[in-house]
Structure 1
Amino acid sequence: MIEFMDVSKEYTKGVKALKDINIHIDKGEFVFIVGSSGAGKSTLIKLLLKEEEPTDGKIILNNMDITNISNRKIPYIRRSVGVVFQDFRLLPNKTVFENVAFAMEIIGASSREIRRRVPIVLSMVGLSHKANNYPNELSGGEQQRVSIARAIVNNPNVLIADEPTGNLDPDTAWEIMKILREINRRGTTIVMATHARDIVNIMKRRVIALEKGTVVRDERKGVYDYEI
């Protein structure tokens, strides 16, 4: 499903963000990417989203080599990947329904399909009653649930969550994790970058730890009970 093969990323002035990364993630896995600031988590995610290009190595996503694809193919690759950000990135002038629908509109979905699909995903994240509200009328947790609904409305094979609980209080963070766990249970592969030690330790899923651009631990049902 996802594979990094001897992947390195070097920025200007010789700054090495990732060094010889080898990771294989199977379809349906839930994987935490952990590490201190500057460990390489964000770079790894940007490589998956084709926001950055590797200096060396090969990246496979959904059984396709995305390392050297042309720019015109990148939007098609991203259709199979949902993304949830720490800062929500909702459109302030659109309602909850319209924010989620927008993700379908940009891939050319019909109005009929949008009217059918959006209520389904809003129900999944518990926001059916907020469909006509605007982002500034929602709590942080509700905004993140809209972000999740938007990320999954096109049925992606992979969901990438970049610090999705970072701006939320502990109780709200757990509500978000319950939603992500249910999405994973339905078959979506989830890769989540996080600093949330308590969430990682309780979830007991695979943990890949990065330090100074290298993988220092990769454990099934791992924990985040050490300093890195």
Structure 2
Amino acid sequence: MIKFTNTGKEYKNGVKALSNINLNIKKGEFVFIVGPSGAGKSTLIKLLLKEEDPTEGKIYLNDMDITKVKNRRIPFIRRNIGVVFQDFRLLPNKTVYENVAFAMEIIGAHPKEIRRRVPMILSMVDLSKKADCYPDQLSGGEHQRVSIARSIVNNPPVLIADEPTGNLDPETAWEIMKVLREINRRGTTILMATHAKDIVDSMKKRVVAIEAGKVVRDEEKGGYENEVSNI
């Protein structure tokens, strides 16, 4: 599904963000990416999304080498990846329904398919009654559920969640994790970058810890800290 092979990233200013990353993530896995700020988690995500290119090594997505694809192919690669951000990134002038539908519109989905799928996804994240609301009428948790709905409406095989609970209170954070767990149970591979120790420890999923640009721990059903220092 996702494979990093001897992957490294050095920026033009000389900062080596990642070094010799070797990861193999199978279809349907739920993987937490943990580590201190500046460890390289965001760079790892940017490489997978083709926002940055590695300076060494290879990256594979669905058995395809995406390391040096042409720019015109990047939008097609990104269709295989849904993204949930910490800051939601909803369009303020569009309703909940329109925000989710927009993700289908930009890939040219047929209006009939949009009308069929958007209500189904909103029901899945328990937002059917909020379909006509605008973002400024929603709570923080509802914002994030809209963001999740938008990220999965095109049925991507991979979902990246970048600190999805970072701006939420503990109770709301757990509601979001229940949604993500259900999405994973339906077959979507999830990579979640987080600092939420309690969530990682309770979920008992695979944990990949990055420190100073290197993978220092990769455990099935791991905890947040263990051998990782300074977190």
Normalization by structure 2: what TM-score? 0.98
In 1, the alpha carbon distance for the partners of 2:109 and 2:180 equals 24
| Deviation of 1:225 (Å) | 3.2
Name the SS for the 2:3 alignment partner.
Answer: strand
Structure 2 match to 1:33:
33
State the secondary structure of the residue aligned to 1:14: coil
Q: CA deviation at 1:4?
A: 0.3
Where does 1:149-188 land on structure 2 (aligned, <5 Å)?
A: 149-188=149-188
Following superposition, the deviation at residue 54 of structure 1 comes to: 0.3
Structure 1 residue 63: Cα displacement? 1.5
- What CA deviation, in whole Å up to 9, does each residue of 1:10-67 have, x standing for no partner? 0123110000000000000000000000000000000000000000000001211100
Asked if 1:74 corresponds to 2:74, the answer is: yes
Consecutive unaligned residues of structure 2, counting only runs of 5 or more, are none
1:17 and 2:17 correspond: yes
Q: CA RMSD in A?
A: 0.6
Whether 2:222 is the aligned partner of 1:222: answer yes
Deviation at 1:80, TM superposition (A): 1.0
CA distance in 1, matches of 2:225, 2:33: 14
Q: Shift of the alpha carbon at 1:213? A: 0.1
Q: In structure 2, what is the equivalent of residue 55 of structure 1?
A: 55
Counterparts of 2:12 and 2:155 in 1: how far apart (Å)? 37
SS, match of residue 181 in structure 1: helix
Question: Match of 1:102?
Answer: 102
Structure 1 position 5 matched with structure 2 position 18: no
Q: Secondary structure at the match of 1:36?
A: coil
Q: Which residue of 1 aligns with 2:144?
A: 144
- Cα distance in 2 for partners of 1:108, 1:10 equals 36
Q: CA deviation at 1:162?
A: 0.2
Runs of 4+ residues over 4 Å off in structure 1: none
Give the whole-Å Cα distance in 1 for the aligned partners of 2:125 and 2:21.
34
Superposition deviation, residue 120 in structure 1:
0.3
Q: Percent identity?
A: 75
Quote the Cα distance in structure 1 between the aligned partners of 2:65 and 2:191: 18
